[in-house]
Amino acid sequence: MAPTNRITNPDGSFRCFQMDEDVFTKLSNNDGGICTDCGETASNVESDARKYRCAACGAHRVYGAELLLVAGRIEFLDECGSAITEDDDA
């Protein structure tokens, strides 16, 4: 089970991941990435990796953690479990 919550757009396409900030920090510090197709985390991924193959689902959708953050595809959760965003369009 990936320690992330994969959020999709109404049409089912990938929107972002929600996770605790310390989960992200561990990912980032360990050359981690995340598959935007299934949400599984990957290791030994460069921070700016793009379209690496996912070991879990086989899709070439693994992106480096830092790249996802810069792209605005990661939202951090506070201790209550709600997302902290400045521009939530909900």
Q: Give the binding site for Zn ion (CB under 5 A).
A: 35, 37-38, 40, 54, 56-57
Task: Supply 40's token pair.
Answer: 């599984």
Q: What is d(CA 48, CA 67) in angstroms, rounded to the nearest whole number? A: 5
Q: How far is the CB of 68 from Zn ion (least distance, A)?
A: 14
Which one, of 13, 8, 5, lies nearest residue 82 by Cα? 5
Q: Which is nearer to Zn ion, 58 or 82 (CB)?
A: 58
Give min distance, CB of 17 to Zn ion, in A: 12
Which of 52, 88 has the CB closer to Zn ion? 52
**φ and ψ at 31, to 5 degrees?**
55, 45
Please state the separation of Cα 55 from the chain's center in Å.
15
Cβ distance to Zn ion smaller for residue 51 or 84 = 51
Least distance from Zn ion to the Cβ atom of residue 41, Å: 10
